[in-house]
């Protein structure tokens, strides 16, 4: 059975929430990330093994946080518009795509520590068994 996960992105340095619903994508699957039509406040996409974002196919402006191996912010890009150039950040091991305005609201800055925290990870079968034993 497919696992269900709910992942939070937290700015541990500032004690602020960046996203409560994260889609996890590997760098080789970045085409999937560009298919996300619109990232709403509270949503996000973590692209692992990625140091730049191709804005072709984007439909809305995004905020980007580039993180290093220690999940420290090495670069922040605010309000990146579809079709615009995005820098390549050599130190980044991944990029967090967030709704435009999230960086400003969370006061996230270069050097801040970001935590990607799974809060629910269980298989569909485990969830059904847990409900059945309670009932």
pTM, to two decimals: 0.80
Asked if 22 contacts 10 with a C-beta cutoff of 8 angstroms, the reply is no
* Residue 87 vs residues 16, 31, 91: alpha-carbon distances, Å: 25, 18, 12
Report the CATH superfamily, name and number, of domain 3-134.
Protein of unknown function DUF192 (2.60.120.1140)
**So where are the chain's domains?**
3-134
Report pLDDT for 126: 55
Angstrom distances, CA of residue 29 to CA of 14, 15, 43, 127: 31, 30, 18, 28
pLDDT digits (tens, 9 = 90+) for 103-133: 999 999 999 999 999 876 544 445 555 555 5
């Amino acid at each position: 059975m497919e696992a269900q996960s709910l992942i939070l992105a937290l700015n541990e340095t500032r004690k602020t929430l960046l996203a409560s619903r994260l889609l996890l994508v590997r760098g080789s699957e970045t085409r999937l990330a560009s298919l996300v039509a619109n990232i709403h406040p509270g949503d996000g996409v973590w692209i692992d093994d990625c140091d730049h974002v191709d804005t072709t196919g984007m439909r809305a402006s995004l905020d980007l946080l580039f993180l290093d191996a220690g999940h420290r912010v090495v670069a922040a890009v605010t309000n990146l518009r579809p079709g615009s150039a995005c820098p390549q950040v050599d130190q980044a091991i991944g990029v967090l795509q967030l709704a435009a305005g999230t960086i400003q609201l969370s006061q996230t800055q270069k050097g801040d520590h970001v935590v990607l925290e799974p809060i629910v990870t269980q298989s569909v079968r485990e969830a059904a068994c847990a409900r059945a034993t309670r009932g």
